[in-house]
Structure 1
Amino acid sequence: MTLPAYIGAALAEIAGCFAFWAWLRLDKPVWWLIPGVASLVLFAYLLTLVESAAAGRAYAAYGGIYIVASLGWLWTVEGIRPDRWDLAGALLCLAGAAVIIAGPRAA
């Protein structure tokens, strides 16, 4: 359940934040904030579904997924293709997220 929760949370967070970006930076109407706030609430809920004994660890590992999802948003929604440095950084972050979430823990 961890990976689907992280992917859903990332999409919800990016969409919610983009609604604010669109309102403030792209001159979209203020009502864009309504689905934006709902999306951010969904984001917070989805993070509670992650299998982790500690919230901070779940949030830290989520950071890697968020970075990859943000680059996907950059490409698919904003039409800007990530460059090799974006991809290299994303791979490093995913490796770090995997270590944080799946590393062996003392009982």
Structure 2
Amino acid sequence: MKFWLLTYLGAAIAEIAGCFAFWAWLRQGQSILWLIPGMASLALFAWLLTLVDAEHAGRTYAAYGGVYIASALVWLWAVEGVRPDRWDLIGVCICLVGAGVILFGPRSPVI
């Protein structure tokens, strides 16, 4: 598997887990101590995105969005027990194609 894909997948897991820690604290009444690993996870997420070999941060983040959406649907199914429906799957396919265009599209040289 390509390094950029592993990096994006790791970043997605870290971001979703970090955000879920806040969700659990605020929406599910969990201890405020959930925020400690949540913040560490969000810091890991930010660091991982810096490892993607792209010329500009904005493109890295934009392309990551498609991977994040796919990962969020996996989380929905694996952690929350809700199976994605066909509209979720169609939407994620569109997003992944868009992410690929952003990350791998041919670029004109900057003058």
Counting only pairs closer than 5 Å after superposition, residues 52-71 of structure 1 correspond to structure 2 as 52-71=54-73
Partner residue, 1:98: 100
How far apart are the structure 1 equivalents of 2:90 and 2:5?
21
User: Please, which runs of 5 or more residues in structure 2 have no aligned partner?
Assistant: none
User: C-alpha offsets along residues 12-37 of structure 1, whole Å, 9 cap, x if unaligned?
Assistant: 00000000000000000000000000
Paired residue secondary structure (2:107): coil
The partner residue of 1:86 within 85, 88, 98 is 88
How far apart are the structure 1 equivalents of 2:12 and 2:52?
13
User: Please, which runs of 5 or more residues in structure 1 have no aligned partner?
Assistant: none
Partner residue, 1:7: 9
Partner residue, 2:74: 72
Partner residue, 1:39: 41
How far apart are the structure 1 equivalents of 2:55 and 2:79?
35
Partner residue, 1:49: 51
Q: Percent of counterpart pairs with the same letter?
A: 65
Partner AA of 2:67 in structure 1 = I
Q: How far apart are residue 54 of structure 1 and its match?
A: 0.2
Q: Which consecutive aligned stretches of 4+ in structure 1 deviate over 4 angstroms post-superposition?
A: none
Partner residue, 1:30: 32
TM-score (norm. length: structure 2) = 0.95
Work out the number of aligned pairs and report it.
107
Aligned-pair RMSD on alpha carbons? 0.6
Q: How far apart are residue 106 of structure 1 and its match?
A: 2.2
User: C-alpha offsets along residues 46-78 of structure 1, whole Å, 9 cap, x if unaligned?
Assistant: 000111000000000000000000000000000
